[in-house]
Structure formats: structure tokens, C-alpha cells
Amino acid sequence: MLRIHRLPRCLLPLLLLAITGCVSYQVPDADYQPFNRALHQHVRHIGILTPGVAEDLQVRIVNPAENNLPLLGPLVAEGVAASRSSRLEALTAQQGFRQGPTMLDSLRKTLERAGYTVSHIELDRPEARFVRRYQDYPAVDALLDAYGTHAGYYAAGSSTPFRPTVFMGVRLVDARTRTVLFSDSFVYNPIGDTGDAITLQADAAYAFTFYDDLEAAPDKAVEGLKQGYQAIADKLGVLLR
């Protein structure tokens, strides 16, 4: 009999995947808190904490046809996805693209356009989630804490196009009192149940019918991802005005 408790822990997700063929996409865990701008007018200087990034860029078919083959099918699909994902990560890296700095750049531009003075506060994040305990940063009025759970190119099924996808959670915290002033989650190119997250439609100009098309145009792939980050940042900018 299979003794599950003797299996290495890292194999358990693969075993579950092989049995169920299910992959869930985690929406950032951000309770809804709109920003009461009129009451927090002291917030003029925002420090953006180095954004958190959950994982490398992914190229995924959310419901691949292979999942219909029991046991081996999902594992094959997972192998294909892993191979494509690492290829996309390498191709976009050649274009000088990195998720964290792109996220930071988009947020900085947006907040400056919204009239805030913006600084970058370097932070080492061991995991992609909101910061557990905020340090003292007396130079700023509020801290912008953002992290992403998924990013890359996702397709709904084996015969639907790959579209740029970004999941992001954002919080604005009072630097002095640590009170959460704003909190929400954003999904660019919604996949499955996105709960209460703000959903933004992916730009049709960056949809790729086949994976090969995506690989053949890494500059366009990078541009599509940048558009995703910027679309989220732009919406955030409106909500923080």
C-alpha cells in the first residue's frame, strides 16, 4: 500500500495533480479597504517597499486536454508547462525584463502621476505575501506593500490563446500608525474564480494563438506583460486619488 507519509513532501502536489488534474490560481489575500483620501490628506510621500514576486513567469494552459488522461496526463501537461515557463523566463530575461523591477516602475509612475512623492524602500522578502511587521520609515507618510502571486501567459484551454496575466495584491499602510489605509487585489486577465478581486481585461493586441508565436516574439511578450502591470498600477492610481 502507498504510504503517503513516507513520500517526500515536494511530491505531494504532483500526486494530487496526477489524481485530480486540478490547478488552482491563488488570488492575493487582500481584504477590501477603500482609500479615504479626504481623511488621510497627510499622505503625500509614499515609500514603495520592494514588491514581492511569487514565482518565475509561467506559460500555462489552465485546463489542458492532457488532464483528461488519468494519472500520466496531468504530469505530462505539467512538464510541458514547466518547460515553456522556463523558456519564457529565459527569453524575457534576454530582453532585460524582470517582474519585481517592472512592478516597481509601474507603481512609481502611477503614484507620481497621482501627485505623490515616491521613494523606493529596499526590502528583502522571503515569501510573496504582505509584510508581516512594518519597520519604522520616518521619511515617508505611507508604505505601499505589493506582491504578485502569478504572472506570465495563460490560456483557458488547449485551443484558446495565451494572454498576459498578472495577479497582484496591494496595501497602503500608514507609516506612523501602521493602519491599513487601502487594501485590494487585482487580476489582469481573470482566470476561473477570482473572488472579490478587481478584474481587468487583457489587451487583445498581446494574445498569442499558439505558444510558438509567443516564443517567436519575446519583445512583444515582454510588452504585453508590462501592459498588464501598468494596467493594474493605473487602476490603483485612480483608487488612491
Site residues (vs another protein, CB under 8 A): 21, 32-36, 38-40, 61-65, 67-68, 154-160, 174, 179-182, 189-192, 194, 196-202, 235, 238-239
- Nearer Cβ to another protein (77/91): 77
Provide the grid cell at 11: 511530491
The CA distances from residue 56 to 165, 169, 180, in Å, are: 13, 17, 29
- Shortest approach of another protein to residue 141 CB, angstroms? 13
- Shortest approach of another protein to residue 24 CB, angstroms? 11
Q: Cβ contacts of residue 66 below 8 Å, gap of 6+?
A: 73, 74, 76, 77, 80
Q: Is 161 exposed, middle or buried (0-12, 13-18, 19+ CB in 10 A)?
A: middle
- Shortest approach of another protein to residue 38 CB, angstroms? 5
Q: Cβ contacts of residue 202 below 8 Å, gap of 6+?
A: 163, 164, 165, 188, 189, 224, 228
- Nearer Cβ to another protein (86/199): 199
Length of the chain measured in residues = 241
- Shortest approach of another protein to residue 189 CB, angstroms? 7
C-alpha dihedral over 98, 101, 104, 110, to 10 degrees?
-80
- Shortest approach of another protein to residue 126 CB, angstroms? 28
- Nearer Cβ to another protein (218/237): 237
- Nearer Cβ to another protein (69/93): 69
Give, as one character, the DSSP assignment of residue 55: S
- Nearer Cβ to another protein (91/198): 198
